Structure 1
Amino acid sequence: MLRSCAARKRRRVGPPGARSAPAVLSVARVSPQTLRPEKTTPARAVARHGWPQALGTVLAGLIVMVVVASLGLWAAGAADLPDNAFPRVVAATFVTAVGGTIELSGGAGAIAETQAGLTVIPLSVTLAGALVMAAGFLRPLRHRAVAGAPELAGWAARIAVLWLAALIGLSLGARQTFAIPLGEVGDFFGTSAEVGFEAAVAPTVFFGLLWLAGVFVLALLVSRAPLPARLLRFQESVRPAAYAMVVLLLAYVALGLVIGVVVALTRGHAAETAAVILLGLPNVVWLVFTIGLGATWDGQVEGPFGLPMPKLLDQVMRGPDVSTLDLGSLAEFDGRVWWLVVVNAVLLLGAAFVMAVRSPARVRLWQHAVHMTVALLLTVLMICLVARISAHYGLSVLGIGDLGGDLSGELFLRPRMWSALGFAVLWGLVTGFVGGVLAKGVRRRGAVDGVG
């Protein structure tokens, strides 16, 4: 009441007839919140990327890879291996998934000698780990406009140090020895042969770190994460093409997963199909992708070995002679193989369209064709390097060659590199040009600034 009377008196001050001045807001009427300075709150908080976040990324990648490998090996029957070897086989699968080396050895003293070797990458385990590690690496970089090279290098180094420790630990655990009966010869001499595997630590560490670096580089190329200033000039041409190739490869994996699930539900053999999906699905679908382009692979399956692949490929490759895998040879067993050409055409045109839409508007049609060609060429080269398989096993007793039967065998699958790369160039030029033409009508205005 007293404040209001005082305010009315102040308003009456002034000569008679004069227009009253505007009332001055009393300090007593100003709330404490009004006097506080306004705080500028960022729209989105920047995620931290210290050691705890690096540990979380590495643990997530390890858990996913180990779980996928364990389920795939369990479906393949590896849980019944003697001497509780299953965990060590899982560790060996992880080692090969990141490009590490598994050395096989064995024998029975002076009586028997084992010659064995294995080169294979379970790409389902590899792909699962790569996706999780890439997501963990990119997460702190979201909502960022700029990221300096020292910051990116420091963040990657933290993950790499912890990843190195995991590589060493799993490499040391990936070793096991199994006893193999020699039949009548073994009974006569009272002995049995042994065969075992052991991870080579040094090559595993080297290729495991190289694999991690490749995952990080590809993640930066594909995503919208900020790049250092010196690399910004490359993102207009490289980033849309890299994104399109990743989408293409994942589309093939998704298509193969759908087909595998349908086959498991309708034709039985659910365990075998699950083993293929969880261990070698990309091995199968990316191989089929290159064959659909026109590439040729040479392969052979002999002895007790079996391919973690559809029966069609096993039928073509099984025998004493080297077999040729291409559209013609596969069509002799199943004429539906020619549909691979149609599927390739549709998916490649879709990838080229995505690349063109994400490219700046000033990119010309011939540049789209060149970008698609280079990207597809590198993609097919990668498939040819990681999808090849080589395995052999032989047992000689008293210096007498391989005993044959279930005690020896050979398996290999390798591409004819130049034919695969040649067809990649042809498909890249055609689909890149057509994709650029299709994207002209849908590219939004101002796309010149959309780097992708």
Structure 2
Amino acid sequence: MSSPTVSERPVARHGWVQAVRTVLVALAVMTLSAALGLWAAGAADLPDGAFPRVVAATLVTAVGGSIELAGDAGALAESRAGVTVMPLSVTLAGALLLGWGFLRPLRHRAVASVRELAGWAARIAVLWLLALVGLALGARQTFAVDMGSGTLSDLAGLFGAAPKVGFAANVPLTVLFGLLWLAGVLVLALAVARGAPLPGRLLRFQETVRPAAHAMVVLLLACVAVGLVTALVVAATRGHAATTFALILLGLPNVAWLGFSLGLGATWDGRVDGPFGLPLPHVLDAVLRTPDVSELNLSSLTDYDGRYAWLVVVDALLLLAVAFRTAVCAPARVRLWQHAVRLAVALALTVLMICLTGRISAHYALSLLGIGDLGGGLSGELFLRPRLWQAVALGALWGLVTGFLGALAAHAVRRGRGTGGP
């Protein structure tokens, strides 16, 4: 009995059971990361059993969903609130697990049809849609604001203006952006994984897109690893262990990728005012807590602590390493300028992603009878936003230079070995 030919081999099994497993594992790890991070931050002490709802809201924001804040302070008062932030530790965990689960049944394949890939992705998307709806419906809560004692408290009691603030997920927007986020994760997984099958028409892009895309994912994970080691050293030597672990489990990539962009020379505008505060490192809060909008860049950081100049060195070493590795693994026929251009485009897009996902905005204000901030501490603002196109241009420039230098080093290694190919 003859062995089956390549065309007769059974296709990879990826049905509903595998889709359920993929979605459940991703949700479980994301929930665990969010819950432990919020617990370390002290959210377990929230009143009215709000902790599970806050965890649900954290997951909603992690996948691009929308949380709306609402304030109620009676007929004679007004409260306003808003928050925009992505807990990228939770986001990264979900993206890695969903991408791994999506690609796992397709391993050991060279080619897959568009119909097959679309059908497998659709199974995951249907289950992800149900999860998004459940999370959005569960992410809603209202809290009473404690005004302490004093004139403000007496006025609030007199006029029946006890302020309340609550949050609720916008279900349609959460579903829309959550599905777009999933689509981006699955497409990126196909673009990055070297062994993932592609439709026949897309195979010609495998040599030009995948090495650079893979290099950027390695770069981002390396930045997170460096940040993790730094955070653990800080927790062991300077205390603040609970705050540090909350940062690791909720927003480590937020800080690590922000530091990477600053090392490239990017500038972020921001301000910290009132009761709000930025997580570790403390230098961020110190630089931005000024009466006016402040610039966060290498200059302002090194004025506070000269050791932050090492961000440039770390960025350069990481970029040269991934550029060299990418060039070594590429065919010898790829020219130096092609390596440089591909890495420049890939790094520019990576910096764009960092800027879009790393924005932070939060504000809360209370006014009574038209008089704002009666409490002297019940109003505050925090925001951090990049100078987008400056950062993207710097990313392209760094990618061009390090891509060329990495390819040049790889070419020298090949010549030393006397080989014409990888």
The TM-score normalised by the length of structure 2 is 0.94
- Whether the 8 Å CA contact 1:316–1:323 is kept in 2: the answer is yes
Distance 1:226-1:41 versus aligned 2 partners, 3 A rule: closer
Write out per-residue CA displacement over residues 340-372 of structure 1, whole angstroms, 9 at most, x where no aligned residue: 111111000011112212322211001111001
**Secondary structure at 2:304 match in 1:** coil
In the alignment, structure 1 residue 227 sits paired with structure 2 residue 227:
no
Question: Once the 2 structures are TM-superposed, how far is the Cα of residue 318 of structure 1 from its aligned partner?
Answer: 1.1
Cα distance in 2 for residues equivalent to 1:190 and 1:203: 34
Cα distance change of structure 1 residues 127 and 265 upon mapping to structure 2, 3 Å threshold: same
SS at match of 2:280: coil
Q: In the alignment, residue 310 of structure 2 is paired with which amino acid?
A: W
1-structure distance, mates of 2:31, 2:275: 27
Letter matched to residue 201 of structure 1: V
C-alpha distance after superposition, 1:77-122 (max 9, x if no partner):
0000000100000000000000111100011221221111111000
Matched, 1:103 2:71: no
Once residues 218 and 442 of structure 1 are traced to their aligned partners in structure 2, the CA distance between those partners, rounded to angstroms, is: 31
1: distance between equivalents of 2:329 and 2:212? 9
What SS is found at the alignment partner of 1:195? Answer: strand
Is the CA contact 1:275–1:308 (under 8 Å) kept in the aligned structure 2?
Answer: no
Residues 136-147 of structure 1 mapped to structure 2, 5 A cutoff: 136-147=101-112
Counterparts of 1:192 and 1:98, CA distance in 2: 34
Q: 2:245 aligns with which of 274, 288, 293?
A: 274
Decide which of 196, 205, 215 is 2:185's aligned counterpart.
Answer: 215
Q: CA deviation at 1:422?
A: 2.1
Rounded to whole Å, the distance in 2 between the matches of 1:272 and 1:264 is 9
Instruction: Determine the structure 2 residue equivalent to 1:202.
Output: 172
Tell me if 1:184 matches 2:154: yes
Please give the alpha-carbon distance, in whole angstroms, between the structure 2 residues aligned to 1:181 and 1:251.
42
- One-letter code aligned to 2:335: R
Structure 1 residue 150 corresponds to structure 2 residue 115: yes
- Map of 2:224 onto structure 1: 253
- CA change 1:384–1:70 in 2 (3 A) is same
Query: 1:402: how far off?
Result: 3.1
2:58 is equivalent to residue 93 of structure 1: yes
Q: Any conservation in 2 of the 1:47–1:139 contact (CA below 8 Å)?
A: no
1:145 positional shift: 1.8
Structure 2 residue ranges without an equivalent (≥5): 148-152
Partner of 1:403: 374
Structure 1 residue 424: Cα displacement: 1.2
Q: How does 1:215-364 map to 2 (within 5 A)?
A: 215-223=185-193, 224-364=195-335
Alignment partner, residue 128 of structure 2: 163
Distance in 2 separating the partners of 1:393 and 1:67: 29
Alpha-carbon distance in structure 1 between the residues aligned to 2:262 and 2:138 = 37
The separation in 1 between residues aligned to 2:281 and 2:173, in whole angstroms, is 31
Indicate whether 1:382 and 2:347 are aligned: no
CA RMSD of aligned residues (A): 1.7
CA distance in 2, matches of 1:247, 1:238: 14
> In structure 1, how many angstroms separate the alpha carbons of the residues matched to 2:333 and 2:119?
36
| 1:293–1:427 CA contact under 8 A, matched in 2 | yes
Q: Whole-Å Cα distance in 2 between the matches of residues 302 and 70 of structure 1?
A: 27
The alpha-carbon deviation at position 265 of structure 1 amounts to 1.2
Paired residues of 1:253 and 1:285 also in contact (CA < 8 A): yes
Tell me: CA distance 1:335–1:45, structure 2 relative to 1, closer, same or farther (3 Å): farther
Share of identical aligned residues, percent? 70
Residue 320 (structure 1) shift = 1.9
- Asked if the contact 1:46/1:143 (under 8 Å) is kept, the reply is no
Number of equivalenced pairs: 411
Q: Secondary structure at the match of 1:406?
A: coil
* Structure exhibiting the larger radius of gyration computed from Cα positions: 1
1:68-87 mapped onto 2 (5 Å cutoff): 68-87=33-52
- Give the Cα separation in 2 of the matches to 1:161 and 1:396: 45
- Structure 1 gaps, min length 5: 1-36
**Residues 431 and 77 of structure 1, relative CA distance in 2, 3 Å threshold:** same
Amino acid at match of 1:195: V
Establish whether residue 124 from structure 1 lines up as the match of residue 94 from structure 2.
Answer: no
Could you tell me how far 1:187 is from its partner in structure 2? 2.6
2:94 and 2:304 map into 1 onto residues whose CA distance is 35
Which range is displaced more, 391-400 or 291-300? 391-400
Compare 164-173 and 180-189 and name the one that shifted more: 180-189
Cα distance in 1 between the residues matched to 2:118 and 2:10: 21
How far apart, CA to CA, are the structure 1 residues paired with 2:181 and 2:317?
Answer: 31
Secondary structure of 1:394 counterpart? strand
Aligned-pair CA distance for 1:193: 1.3
Equivalent-residue separation in structure 1 for 2:394 and 2:359 (angstroms): 18
Are 1:134 and 2:99 matched, yes or no? yes
Q: Which residue does 2:393 correspond to in 1? A: 422
Residue of structure 2 equivalent to 1:18 = none
Q: CA deviation at 1:308?
A: 2.5
Deviation string 1:186-240 (CA, Å, 9 cap, x unpaired) is: 2323441111000001111111011101111111111120100111111111000
Partner of 1:25: none
Aligned equivalents of 1:284 and 1:111: distance in 2?
A: 41
The residue identity in structure 2 corresponding to 1:86 is F
The question of whether the paired residues in 1 share the 8 Å contact of 2:75 and 2:161 is answered with: no
Separation in structure 1 between the aligned mates of residue 420 and residue 15 of structure 2, nearest angstrom: 38
Structure 2 counterpart of 1:28 = none
**Which residue identity lines up with residue 312 of structure 2 in the other structure?**
V
